[in-house]
Structure 1
Amino acid sequence: MKKHSIIPKAVTEYDLRLLRIFRTVVENGGFSASETELGITRSTISVHMSNLESRMKLKLCSRGRGGFSLTEEGQAVYHACISLFDSINDFSMLVNNLGQELSGELILFCADQLDNTMQKKLAEVIHFLHQKEPQLHLILDGDSIHNIERSLLQDKAHVGLLPSYHQIEGLSYQTIYSEPIYLCCSSHHPYFDMKDDEITAEILAEAPSIHPGIDIDAEGREQLKKLNLSAKAYQFDTRKTLILSGCYIGYLPGSYIKSELASKQMRIIHFDTTKYQFNLSMVFKKNPRETHKVELLKAAFDKVFS
C-alpha cells in the first residue's frame, strides 16, 4: 500500500516547530545532546519526534542501544529541512530590506587585470554607486573565474566581471564590453622582422605559444589549434610578460598593448586572420539574496557601459 505523507499538504506552524526540533536533534547527534539547546527534556523531545513521524507517516530515525541514526527517509527530510529554513531566512531578509536604505557590503569581483580603459570605466561605476548609496561599504577585488562563480552562487558576492566564453546554471550574463584579441610577438622574437606572407601556417605552428588557460569560444579554439601550445597564462599581464620575453607568441587584446605597439616592442601577426573576439560580461546570480544591491550594480554598469 502506498504511504501518504503530510509533506505534500499545507505545512502548518506546528509542522515547522517539529521540523526545527528534528533538525536540532540530527545536528546534535541525538536526543540527550539536544536537551540544552532546545531547553526541553529528552522525554519531551521523544514525544515531539514521535508526533512528527506520525504526522508524516515516515520512520525518520532509529534510537536505542545502538545509538541515534537516521533512516534513508530521515536523511532526505533533514536535507529538505535545510533548504526549507534557508528559504524562510532568505524571505525574511528580502522583506526586511524592502523599502529600507541599503546597508552593509557591496561586493564586486574581477577575473582579469584592469587596463587603463577598464579602470576608468570602473571608476565611473564606483562614482555612480557612491552618489546613489554612499553608506555602502564597497569591496572591489580580483579572483579566479571559478572562485567568483562560486561566490556569486553562494551569495558571497553581488556581481562579477568575467569572460563569457562559458556560462553555468544559476548565473545570468550581460555583455558589457567586446573587442578582438590578436596574435602577438615581441621585438625579441624571430617573427618580429618577418613579413606576414613569410609567416606561413607551417612556420606559425613551429613557435612555442601560450594557451589562455580557460576554455574559450569556438572561434578562439580554432585559432589555438594552429599553434604549438607550450605555456599557459590566463591573466593578460602574465601573458604579456611571456610574450615580451621573446620566447613565445600569444593572444592579447589590442587595447592592452597600445603602448607596446606604438614603441615597437610588440607587433601583431596576421592582423586580419589570426584573431578572435573577447567578450566581458557582468555576471550575477539569477535569484540573488540581496536583489536591491544587484539591481543597483546593474544600473551603474548600464549607465557607464551603454
Structure 2
Amino acid sequence: MNKSSIIPKPIAEYDLRLLRIFVSVVENGGFSAAESALGITRSTISIHMSNLEERMKLKLCLRGRGGFALTEDGHTVYRAVINLFDSLNDFSLLVGSLSNELSGELVILCADQLNQTTQRKLSDVINIIHQDSPNLHLVLDSEPIANIEKSLLKDKAHIGLFPGYQQIEGLAYQPITSEAVYLCCSKDHPFFNKVDTVISADDLAEVPAIHPGVDVEPSGSEQLRKLNLMAKSYQFDTRKAMIMSGSYIGFMPQSYIQQELNQGEMRIIRPSELTYQFNLSLVTKKTPREANKVALLTEVFNRVFNRVFNKI
C-alpha cells in the first residue's frame, strides 16, 4: 500500500500553518502548554495536529496519560521544519537587504534596567530611527545576558545593551556609558548608623552581601572578594529590594538609589574606597546577517551617546 505524503509540492500555505502549530506544540512541551502561545484551544490544536499527521501519513507524536512525546518520525520532521523556517527567514532577509529602504524588524535587547539618563538617550535613538526609517518595526525587550549573546550570534537580534566585562568570540563590544557603583545598606541594616571609620574590613566580611551573579571588571571582582557573598541578584531593581530588606549589603549605582538616599532610607558605605565602574556596552555580531540595520543602529547610537565606538 502506498503511504506517501499527500502534502502537495510546492507546500501550500495551509501546510505551513500546520507546521507552525507543530513547532509550537513541540517547543512548549505539549498541547495544553501551547494553548496560550498559539491563542487557540487544546481541542483545536489536536484537530490541526491530526490533520497534519493525516496529510503527512506519519505519526508525529504520542499524547495521552503518559504525557506528550515525539515519535522518531516526529523528531525528524521537527528538525526539517526548523531548517525550512530558517531558510524562509533567510530568503526574507536577503530580499529585504536588496532594497534601499530598510524594512522588517529591528531588534534591540537590554540586560539591565536603564537609568533615566540612558533611557532618555535611548528614546532619542528610537525617535531618530522612527523618523528616518518608518518601515522598520522596532522590537525593544529585556533578556538575560546569555540569551542576548545567543540571539546576536544567531542573528535573532541586531543590538544588545549589557556590560562587556566577559567578552565572547564573534561579538564586538563598544562602551556607551560608565557609572560608578557603591556599596550600600538600608536604614534597617546594622551599618546604617555607624560612621565609615568604625566599619572594618572584618565587619564587611561578616555580614551577608549580594553578588551580581555575573563576572564584573577586575576592580569590581576585587571589591566583591572583600564581602561575605550570601545571595545573588543581577538586576538593579531586584538587588535594591534585597538591600532595602535590611538583610544584605550590595553594590548599586547612585542614580538608581538617589531617591532613597535623599529620603534617608539608604546610605553609601565608604564611597571613596568601596566602588567600581559599571560599564554599559553596545554589543553587535562581528559579521551580522543584516549588516545595514546594525550599521544604522551603531551610527545613531554613536550620534546620540556621543561616543567613538570603534576606539575600544
TM score, norm. by length of structure 2: 0.68
Q: Equivalent residues in 2 for 1:1-306 (5 A)?
A: 93-94=93-94, 97-306=97-306
Please give the secondary structure, in 2, of the residue aligned with 1:107.
strand
Which residue identity is paired with 2:271? F
Alpha-carbon separation, structure 2, partners of 1:231 and 1:38: 57
- The answer on whether the counterparts of 2:184 and 2:250 sit within 8 Å (CA) in structure 1 is yes
Alpha-carbon separation, structure 1, partners of 2:300 and 2:256: 24
Deviations 1:194-236 (A, max 9, x none): 0000001011111100000001111111101110011100000
Alpha-carbon separation, structure 1, partners of 2:292 and 2:94: 9
Q: Which has the larger radius of gyration?
A: 1
- The answer on whether the counterparts of 2:96 and 2:102 sit within 8 Å (CA) in structure 1 is no
Alpha-carbon separation, structure 2, partners of 1:163 and 1:193: 33
Question: How far off is 1:92 after superposition?
Answer: 9.6
Alpha-carbon separation, structure 1, partners of 2:90 and 2:247: 53
- The answer on whether the counterparts of 2:110 and 2:142 sit within 8 Å (CA) in structure 1 is yes
Deviations 1:227-286 (A, max 9, x none): 001110000000000000011000001111111111111111011000111110000100
Question: How far off is 1:95 after superposition?
Answer: 7.5
Residue 133 to residue 92, structure 1, CA distance change in 2 (3 Å): closer
**1:3 paired residue number:** none
Deviations 1:10-61 (A, max 9, x none): xxxxxxxxxxxxxxxxxxxxxxx99x9999xxxxxxxxxxxxxxxxxxxxxx
Alpha-carbon separation, structure 2, partners of 1:201 and 1:93: 56
- The answer on whether the counterparts of 2:187 and 2:246 sit within 8 Å (CA) in structure 1 is yes
Which residue identity is paired with 2:295? E
Alpha-carbon separation, structure 2, partners of 1:92 and 1:139: 18
User: After alignment, is 119-128 or 241-250 more displaced?
Assistant: 119-128
Question: How far off is 1:100 after superposition?
Answer: 2.0
**2:80 paired residue number:** none
Alpha-carbon separation, structure 2, partners of 1:96 and 1:134: 14
Alpha-carbon separation, structure 1, partners of 2:144 and 2:242: 20
Residue 37 to residue 219, structure 1, CA distance change in 2 (3 Å): farther
Which residue identity is paired with 2:224? L
Identity of matched residues, %:
58
Please give the secondary structure, in 2, of the residue aligned with 1:229.
strand
Alpha-carbon separation, structure 2, partners of 1:231 and 1:125: 36
Alpha-carbon separation, structure 1, partners of 2:109 and 2:115: 15
Please give the secondary structure, in 2, of the residue aligned with 1:205.
helix
User: After alignment, is 290-299 or 109-118 more displaced?
Assistant: 109-118
**1:60 paired residue number:** none
Alpha-carbon separation, structure 1, partners of 2:105 and 2:90: 17
- The answer on whether the counterparts of 2:96 and 2:104 sit within 8 Å (CA) in structure 1 is no
- The answer on whether the counterparts of 2:105 and 2:136 sit within 8 Å (CA) in structure 1 is yes
Question: How far off is 1:94 after superposition?
Answer: 4.9
Alpha-carbon separation, structure 1, partners of 2:96 and 2:225: 53
- The answer on whether the counterparts of 2:110 and 2:160 sit within 8 Å (CA) in structure 1 is yes
Alpha-carbon separation, structure 2, partners of 1:255 and 1:142: 20
Report how many aligned residue pairs link the two structures: 231
Which residue identity is paired with 1:163? P
Which residue identity is paired with 2:190? P
Which residue identity is paired with 1:136? L
**2:16 paired residue number:** none
Please give the secondary structure, in 2, of the residue aligned with 1:190.
coil
Which residue identity is paired with 2:159? V
Question: Runs of at least 4 residues of structure 1 off by over 3 A?
Answer: 36-39, 89-96
- The answer on whether the counterparts of 2:183 and 2:269 sit within 8 Å (CA) in structure 1 is yes
TM score, norm. by length of structure 1: 0.70
